[in-house]
């Protein structure tokens, strides 16, 4: 037997048992999340402070959603996620926090009235997209971009139903959108129609208008 065969067997064994953790997280989500319908998922920076424009705009966005019959899903942590859960709770809506265990930054906020805990990003991402009728993307970093591009890819490839994907704050997103047009489009790595998958607005009120026009619940 090769010297490293025990290491290979051990890794395989650990991966096999890890499948039970995957299943447990999926089951928890599938049991709890249907009660959040209809819900809009809000993404954005965990580092946004309560006095920041992003935090304040998210509060307004979540309140508008709640007042118009929508529940709100966030990542359950601080910053924009906290503002999303706080605004939804204040509006009397279901306020869902899908908390992920991370060594830094991600601490659960106190405003989610429905909370699930996850170890695995990929399972959490399934819950975000499966139970959302729209995505609202506030200014954020790598995690926010990850969720944005996941949704754009799934809609582009018709792996999920098309739903509104709305970026708020055109100034923040301008550089990315310019790159889409000046590089991706010119290099023919995307199509003109791919730019129609998402919308860019500057206010929560504009985002709410798109959701009310496009989402039937």
Give the per-residue pLDDT at 102.
75
Q: For 53, left (φ over 0), alpha (ψ -120 to 50), or beta?
A: alpha
Give the per-residue pLDDT at 15.
74
**Among 103, 110, 44, residue whose Cα is nearest residue 75:** 44
Q: Which residues in 103-115 are b (16+ Cβ under 10 Å) and which e?
A: eeebebbebbebb
* Ranges of the chain with pLDDT below 70: 1-13, 103-106
Give the per-residue pLDDT at 216.
83
Give the per-residue pLDDT at 104.
64
Question: Which class would CATH give 5-214?
Answer: alpha beta
* Percentage of residues in the chain having pLDDT higher than 90: 85
Give the per-residue pLDDT at 18.
82
The 10s digit of each residue's pLDDT in 71-96 is 999 999 999 999 999 999 999 999 99
Give the per-residue pLDDT at 134.
98
Cα dihedral sign, 136-138-142-143: negative
- Give the contacts of 209 (CB within 8 A, at least 6 positions apart): none
* Percentage of residues in the chain having pLDDT higher than 70: 92
Give the per-residue pLDDT at 101.
79
Give the per-residue pLDDT at 5.
46
């Amino acid at each position: 037997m090769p010297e490293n065969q025990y290491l290979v067997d051990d890794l395989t064994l650990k991966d096999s048992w890890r499948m039970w953790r995957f299943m447990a997280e999926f089951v928890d989500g599938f049991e709890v999340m249907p009660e959040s319908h209809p819900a809009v998922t809000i993404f954005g920076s965990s580092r946004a402070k309560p006095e920041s424009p992003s935090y304040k705009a998210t509060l307004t966005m979540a309140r508008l959603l709640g007042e118009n019959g929508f529940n709100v899903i966030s990542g359950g942590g601080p910053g924009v996620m906290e503002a999303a859960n706080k605004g939804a709770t204040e509006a009397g809506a279901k306020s869902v926090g899908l908390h992920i265990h991370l060594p830094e930054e991600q601490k659960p906020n106190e405003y989610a009235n429905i909370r699930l805990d996850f170890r695995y990003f990929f399972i959490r991402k399934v819950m975000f997209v499966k139970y959302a009728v729209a995505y609202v993307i506030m200014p954020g970093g790598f995690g926010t971009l990850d969720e944005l591009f996941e949704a754009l890819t799934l809609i582009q490839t018709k792996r999920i139903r098309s739903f509104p994907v709305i970026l708020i704050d055109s100034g923040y997103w301008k550089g990315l959108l310019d790159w889409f047009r000046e590089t991706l489009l010119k290099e023919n790595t995307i199509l003109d129609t791919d730019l129609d998958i998402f919308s860019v607005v500057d206010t929560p009120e504009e985002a709410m208008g798109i959701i009310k026009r496009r989402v039937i619940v």
